[in-house]
A and B are shown apart, each in its own frame.
Chain A
Amino acid sequence: MLLYCGAMPFTVPNCAGPLSAEAKRHSRLALLYALASGLLAIAIAMLRRGGLIPAGLGLVAALLPLVPLILFMISIVRMVRSLDELQRLIHLEAVMLQFGASGIVVMGYGMLARAGFAPNVTFMEAYPFLWLGPFVFWALALVVVRRRYQ
């Protein structure tokens, strides 16, 4: 619930201040595109495992989930642009916090792994976390920053 309130406060009236219908629409679209990208990636992975992707389409299939992901990013930008000035400031501060927190976690883990206190992970093992982590931190940072202005 915390994550949902933080990441998509625009769709949960009780989680945050009332936002414009336009912002809500863009946030719903963003959620939809994110889900579409994830489902597409899973579907393509299953097809690849079953050997159902023609050799000539391998590259296209690998990059296909990026299409809804690009639409997701566009929706996020449009959503933030449709917010009022305080909400934009809140998102800016939250992204700054998220950026710092993500960097600290990645650097911290790297230092621990280098010193032998944490297992070395490959990029393929780490990348789902590198992708999702910033969104989790963004959601948490939104909750924290919002409190300052309440």
Chain B
Amino acid sequence: VNNRLRVLRVERGWSQTELAGRLQVSRQTIHAIESGKYDPSLPLAFAIGQLFGQLIEQIFTPEPSGPGDPLSNGG
């Protein structure tokens, strides 16, 4: 899942630590989400959406589906 978390955070001039504090998670979690190493749970994604005043799908977008992806139409 791709996300615009870093862009949204920088737009507001927040550091990762500040955003982590607002979401009550660790800074490492913010860093992992921003760098695409970790996809947040649905409750955390909703909290992120609420914090930035956007819908989840405006922040998180699925990566292009590949062959083997059950959601793709190719199989």
Contact = CB atoms under 8 A, between A and B. Distances in A.
Contact of B27 (A18, A89, A146, A148): A18
Nearest to A16: B28
Interface string A40-84: 000000000000000000000000000000000000000000011
Interface residues of A, number: 15
Interface string B7-30: 000000000010010001111110
A20 B27 CA distance: 11
Interface residues of B, number: 15
B71 to A, nearest CB: 23
B27 A149 contact: no
A19 B31 contact: no
A52 B24 CA distance: 52
5 contacts: A17-B26, A17-B27, A17-B28, A19-B26, A149-B31
Interface of B: 17, 20, 24-29, 31-32, 37-38, 40-41, 44
Interface of A: 16-20, 83-87, 89, 146, 148-150
